């Protein structure tokens, strides 16, 4: 049997005995209830929660700013770069399956060993030019486990992108609702200020007639001034929310399109929250959520890394070879007698480093346990938040209805108190008290409108799947 036939048979024998060590991944399950306790009274014909849930709020300005954020956010660019990085890391891991070849030029000067040359070898120059090649068969699956981990990392980074789409949409919508809530509070503050200024004018007129003293004028003036002092603060808050929307879109506020800036600066009503939607069972939503999918893929990657670490406990074989020319003089390199070649296997086994390798395996196993715990905890927390947001929505809806009734009654009480004060039937304190109650109830009503819509947004974020168009990696 010649050397070439031996080499072929040796490689074939190595390939036939390959195995993969380490644990095979099994996706863990999360035990969740079959239904949502907080929304068990939702009508059977209720609409499902769409992935683009903000469109159901029916606000064109909101739709426009969400679209802008989801196309231009720097956070998405950063996350996309991490996804591209994971593709490159996978390419590096896959390259280990292939032979390597290096072009080598070498000049060496050696003293001859008397063991080979009893008469003394003297000084020997050697010039070498050729191709070094090597190949490590993946006997115990170290490379395959590394590629498996890299594939799971790609899927995890893709899930990160999809989850960021979901989070950015929710953050943008919540900030926009904050802006419109402040708009409503500004309108209410100005309306209440107008009422208080009318009361102040009435008190001053009665002072001229001798029916009111300076103390009454000062008290009415103090209430009006207090309300007026709130307006600049609310205006600053509104500008801050508008700037925040621009930052989410990756630009300064003046860089927003002119028509969008005009829409944000024009006061609008708070987007009304739709009715509670029909939701899929908690376990089904958990399967769709990209943040949970990312944690599950992280666990898969970490499980594969255990196998890559275990493979280091086993021996490895490297096949190497060289073909080229070698001569004692550089100008003799390309003569026919200078041709040379060589090949052979190299066997290595870290028999004296097993403790370090076993500790590394323990490290990877502990990290997998941590990843599994994070996944299970996140699944339970996702269910808990869904229940919480649904319950908050239902309770806020009830609270809003009662605040509306209270605010309407308070507005009538203010009108009646002013009429009775003008007729001398009640004193000024009654008027001022009813105005303060109206101001407080009006602000609570506006805040409750915003809170109801934000709870609906949070429910959309907690139950939507996220979306991002990315071509699946291949190779």
Task: Give the mean pLDDT of 441-469.
Answer: 85
Least confident of 291-300, 308-317, 416-425, 461-470: 461-470
- Rounded-to-integer distance, Cα 326 and Cα 329, Å: 9
Task: Give the mean pLDDT of 221-230.
Answer: 90
Average pLDDT, the chain: 87
Give the start-end residues of each E strand in 367-411.
none
What is the reported pLDDT for 18? 64
What is the reported pLDDT for 422? 84
What is the reported pLDDT for 40? 63
What is the reported pLDDT for 363? 96
Q: Using one digit for the tens of pLDDT, what is the confidence trace for 235-266?
A: 999 999 999 999 999 999 999 999 999 999 99
Least confident of 359-363, 368-372, 410-414: 410-414
- What is this structure's pTM? 0.82
- Rounded-to-integer distance, Cα 13 and Cα 7, Å: 10
Decide: 431 and 199 in contact? Cβ < 8 Å.
yes
Q: What is the residue whose two structure tokens read 């190497």?
A: 320
Decide: 203 and 217 in contact? Cβ < 8 Å.
yes
At residue 128, the 3 state secondary structure works out as strand
What is the reported pLDDT for 433? 87
What is the reported pLDDT for 303? 97
| Structural tokens at position 9 | 């048979």
What is the reported pLDDT for 466? 67
Percent of the chain with pLDDT over 90: 50
Q: How confident is the model at residue 41 (pLDDT cuts 50, 70, 90)?
A: low
Percent of the chain with pLDDT over 70: 89
Give the start-end residues of each E strand in 81-195.
100-111, 123-135
Q: How confident is the model at residue 209 (pLDDT cuts 50, 70, 90)?
A: confident
Residues in Cβ contact with 231 at an 8 Å cutoff, skipping those fewer than 6 apart: 186, 189, 190, 193
- Say if residue 3's pLDDT is above 60: no
Pick 213 or 252 by higher pLDDT. Answer: 252
Residues in Cβ contact with 253 at an 8 Å cutoff, skipping those fewer than 6 apart: 242, 243, 246, 261
Burial 292-318 (b: 16+ CB within 10 A, else e): bbbbbbbbbbbbbbbbbbbbbbeebbe
Task: Give the mean pLDDT of 87-95.
Answer: 95
What is the reported pLDDT for 115? 61
Least confident of 1-10, 199-208, 330-339, 396-405: 1-10
- Rounded-to-integer distance, Cα 62 and Cα 53, Å: 12
Q: How many CA atoms lie within 13 A of 236 on its CB side?
A: 5
Q: Which residues pair with 342 in a beta bridge?
A: 322
What is the reported pLDDT for 180? 95
What is the reported pLDDT for 86? 96
What is the reported pLDDT for 245? 96
Task: Give the mean pLDDT of 256-280.
Answer: 88
- Say if residue 14's pLDDT is above 70: no
Task: Give the mean pLDDT of 36-65.
Answer: 79
What is the reported pLDDT for 122? 64
What is the reported pLDDT for 475? 38
- Rounded-to-integer distance, Cα 73 and Cα 247, Å: 8
Which of 77-86, 123-132, 338-347 is predicted most confidently?
77-86
Task: Give the mean pLDDT of 432-447.
Answer: 89
What is the reported pLDDT for 51? 78
Q: What is the residue whose two structure tokens read 């009662």?
A: 402
What is the reported pLDDT for 179? 96
Q: Using one digit for the tens of pLDDT, what is the confidence trace for 133-145?
A: 999 999 999 999 9
């Amino acid at each position: 049997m010649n050397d070439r036939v031996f080499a072929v048979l040796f490689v074939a024998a190595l390939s036939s005995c390959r195995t993969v060590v380490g644990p095979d991944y099994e996706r863990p399950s999360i035990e969740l209830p079959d239904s949502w306790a907080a929304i068990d009274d939702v009508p059977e014909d209720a609409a499902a929660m769409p992935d683009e849930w903000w469109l159901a709020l029916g606000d064109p300005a909101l739709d426009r700013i969400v679209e802008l954020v989801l196309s231009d956010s720097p956070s998405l660019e950063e996350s996309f770069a991490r996804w591209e990085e994971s593709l490159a890391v996978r390419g590096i891991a896959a390259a280990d399956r292939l032979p390597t070849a290096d072009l080598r030029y070498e000049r060496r000067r050696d003293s001859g060993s008397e063991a080979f040359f009893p008469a003394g070898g003297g000084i020997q120059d050697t010039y070498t030019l050729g191709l070094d090649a090597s190949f490590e068969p993946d006997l115990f699956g170290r490379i395959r486990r590394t590629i498996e981990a890299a594939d799971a990392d790609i899927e995890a980074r893709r899930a990160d992108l999809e989850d960021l789409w979901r989070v950015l949409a929710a953050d943008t919508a919540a900030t926009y609702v904050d802006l419109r809530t402040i708009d409503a509070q500004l309108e209410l503050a100005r309306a209440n200020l107008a009422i208080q200024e009318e009361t102040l004018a009435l008190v001053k007129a009665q002072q001229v007639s001798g029916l009111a003293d300076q103390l009454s004028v000062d008290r009415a003036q103090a209430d009006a001034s207090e309300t007026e002092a709130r307006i600049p603060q609310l205006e600053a808050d509104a500008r801050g929310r508008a700037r925040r929307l621009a930052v989410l879109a990756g630009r300064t506020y003046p860089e927003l399109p002119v028509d969008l800036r005009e829409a944000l600066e024009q006061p609008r009503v708070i987007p009304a929250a739709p009715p509670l939607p029909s939701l899929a069972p908690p376990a089904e939503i958990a399967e769709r959520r990209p943040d949970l999918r990312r944690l599950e893929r992280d666990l898969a990657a970490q499980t594969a890394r255990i196998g890559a670490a275990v493979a280091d406990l086993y021996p490895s074989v490297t096949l190497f070879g060289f073909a080229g020319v070698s001569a004692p003089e550089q100008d003799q390199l390309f003569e026919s007698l200078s041709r040379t070649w060589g090949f052979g296997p190299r066997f290595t086994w870290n028999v004296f480093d097993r403790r370090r390798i076993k500790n590394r395996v323990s490290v990877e196993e502990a990290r997998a346990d941590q990843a599994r715990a994070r996944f299970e905890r996140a699944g339970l927390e996702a269910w808990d938040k869904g229940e919480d947001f649904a319950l908050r929505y239902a309770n806020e809806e009830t609270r809003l209805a009662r605040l509306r009734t209270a605010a309407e009654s308070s507005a009538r009480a203010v009108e009646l108190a002013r009429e009775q004060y003008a007729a001398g039937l009640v004193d000024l304190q009654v008027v001022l008290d009813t105005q303060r109650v109206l101001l407080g109830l009006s602000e609570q009503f506006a805040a409750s409108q915003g809170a109801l819509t934000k709870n609906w947004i949070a429910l959309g974020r907690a139950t939507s799947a996220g979306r991002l168009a990315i071509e699946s990696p291949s190779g």
